Amino acid sequence: MKGKVLFISGIDTNVGKTYATGILARQLAAEGHTVITQKMIQTGCTDISEDIEMHRQLMGIPFTEEDKAGLTCPYIFTYPCSPHMAAERDGRRIDLSVITRATQELQKHYEYVLLEGAGGLMVPNDFHSLAIDYIREQNYPLILVTSGKLGSINHTLLSLYACRQQGIQVDSVIYNLYPHTDQLIEDNTLEYLRQYLRHEWPDTHLRLLPEKSSYPPHSEMAIPTE
């Protein structure tokens, strides 16, 4: 078996990638699929990936054997910053082939591997490679997480433009409803993106990520698709 890898990125940092990844994994599992999440590079942590920990909480499962073996987060750095800077501060080097091999090992055992990136598409892994370069080279379909905060239209369209230029398939755009900022801007942003995707990216799904406060700890959650 060779599982399908979906890469989850966002229009910026702190846009809801981790919640989207965990809830989508839970949804796939509820549909009867075998699914595992992976964090490409984690910064701002020491022994364990806080994002993997959140994934497991949202999925309602304990740490897996793959988590304990380090396959689901090959690189963890201490300083909360971009991967290239975090690796440099810790005196280490990121070898992207290590991440690729870990993902391939997970693909042998799961139907889906949800690979969460760090920050947005243009985040540098090192001084020679950006996240978007890695996605293109691996030919991974992308799930792009956005929100209704002011500026999201610009950031979303720039991200989609970059994907088109790089020939990256955008499986879906997830619109994060949390946290609330300005209802008028949120509603307008959602409607604009809905129309934009319909005309410019007709094969890309638009999904709504429920509010954080509505995530019950032990019930099925789904990300509705429009």
Residue 209 lies in a domain: yes
Instruction: Establish whether 39 is a catalytic residue.
Output: yes
pTM over 0.85: yes
Residue 187 lies in a domain: yes
Domain containing residue 167: CATH number: 3.40.50.300
Residue 50 lies in a domain: yes
What pLDDT score was predicted for residue 182? 93
Q: Total structural domains in the chain?
A: 1
Q: Evaluate if residue 179 carries a pLDDT over 90.
A: no
Q: What is the mean pLDDT of residues 41-54?
A: 95
Tens digits of residue pLDDT in 119-128:
999 999 998 9
Residue 224 lies in a domain: no
Residues in the chain: 226
Q: Considering the candidates 2, 4, 17, 39, report the single residue annotated as catalytic.
A: 39
Residue 219 lies in a domain: no
Question: Which residues form the domain of 122?
Answer: 4-214
Tens digits of residue pLDDT in 156-171:
999 999 999 999 999 9
What pLDDT score was predicted for residue 1? 74
